[in-house]
Amino acid sequence: MGFLCEKITRAIQLDADEILLNINNFFQGMLIRTLGIEQIKQQILQRISSNQVFDIEGWKNFINQEIYNSAFGQTTRAVVNLAMQDAKANYNDQTLPLLSLLFLANSDQNTFVNAFKAVNLAQRAGQAGSSIQNVANNFQNNFQNNNYNYMNPQGFFNFASGVQNAFNNIGGVYNQAMNPNMIRINDLKKLICYHINFLTLLPVNLLAQFGEGSPMKNYFVTVLNNAFNKNVQANFVNNKLFMGYEGRQEIDVNEFFNRNYNTLKNDNQLRKELVTSYINTLSPTDIVNIVTNKYTNV
């Protein structure tokens, strides 16, 4: 009996390409994969500069149109909704789905980097403008309520803090305008973390739920959820994409994408690397249990 079990475990293999087929088809069949990045950049800049980014329904329709895949209509709409919820709830930045489009558009490294710099500068300028407006409103309110004088030190402190925050934001924009190659590392890391999750874990259960595209066996979903879990993503981001940048406040855009552009653009290979690494950690018994739905580890 033990010999028979051993033969069965040797016979069962997990095929990364088969497991990834549907999620790869979902991403590769998106309309945006055929569109040049300059076209997408202009539309993103228009939305950022005109505050259209806060038109949630218009924004949702725009993203859905750009990543639409006719073989995955229901999945596409659900992914857009979840991607927007993820950006707001987990990153407090609803511009992330827009910025993520840059990675999906058709580009080479030079055109991508130039588009990325333009969008990043526009976004930082918009944030600084909001800070200036907040300070102006704060000053007006404090002045009208007579909160700016020595009789109300807390009101004066709040006002002074607002001014300092605005100057910090303005300073960041000024530094980037003087040297547009630089970006604040926290901003870049937030975007990359969001995008890696979007490329991997975020659509998995939706693909299974709607059953569009190629059939997905139950254990495919188990493998993908485990291979793409948040701990795996964090290790990938920290130990591969951002290795060597510890302690920096800013990062050179050219340097970062010289190292990582191909990894981020070739999302099929990125997903395969994570799935293959996960499969290699499994024992033959683990594999049998996964295939027979007795193993989750999610």
Residue written as tokens 């340097």? 255
Neighbouring CB atoms inside 10 A of 21's CB total 16
At residue 130, the pLDDT reads 42
The residue extents of the domains of the chain are 11-291
Write phi, then psi, for 211 (nearest 5 degrees).
Answer: 65, 25
- Please tell me the distance from the alpha carbon of residue 7 to that of residue 3, in angstroms, as a whole number: 6
pLDDT at res. 123: 80
State how far the Cα of 38 lies from the Cα of 48, in Å rounded to an integer: 15
Query: What span, in angstroms and rounded, lies between the C-alpha atoms of 130 and 93?
Result: 14
- Report yes or no on whether pTM surpasses 0.85: no
User: Tens digit of pLDDT for each residue in 205-217?
Assistant: 999 999 999 999 9
CA–CA separation, 147 and 139 (whole Å): 9
pLDDT band of residue 296 (cuts 50, 70, 90) is: low
Q: Using an 8 Å Cβ cutoff, are 34 and 66 in contact? A: no
Tell me the pLDDT tens digit for each residue of 17-41: 999 999 999 999 999 999 999 999 9
CB atoms under 10 Å from CB of 214, counted, come to 15
pLDDT band at 84 (very low <50, low <70, confident <90, very high): very high
Where helices occur in 145-213 by DSSP H, the ranges are 153-178, 185-199, 204-210
Closest CA to 75 of 210, 234, 254: 210
Closest-CA residue to 185 (of 229, 237, 230): 237
Of 11, 20, 17, 30, the C-alpha closest to 216 is: 20
The first and second tokens of residue 198, run together, are 């979007």
Residue 234 pLDDT > 70 = yes
Residue range 141-166: mean pLDDT, rounded:
47
Q: Which tokens hold the place of 70?
A: 């006719």
- pLDDT given at position 149: 47
The confidence score (pLDDT) of residue 163 equals 46
* Structure confidence at residue 78 (pLDDT): 98
Evaluated on CA atoms 274, 276, 280, 283, the torsion sign reads positive
Q: Pick from 25-34, 133-142, 152-161 the range whose average pLDDT is largest.
A: 25-34
Give me the pLDDT at residue 122, please: 85
Taking 90 as the threshold, does the pLDDT of residue 134 lie above it?
no
pLDDT at residue 160 tops 80: no
Residue 216 identity (one-letter amino acid): M
Question: Which pLDDT score, from 0 to 100, does residue 298 have?
Answer: 56
The C-alpha torsion from 24 through 25 and 30 to 36, rounded to 10°, is 60
- Alpha-carbon distance of 272 to 27, in angstroms, equals 14
CA distance 279 to 163: 53
Least confident stretch, 6-10, 52-56, 242-246, 261-265:
6-10
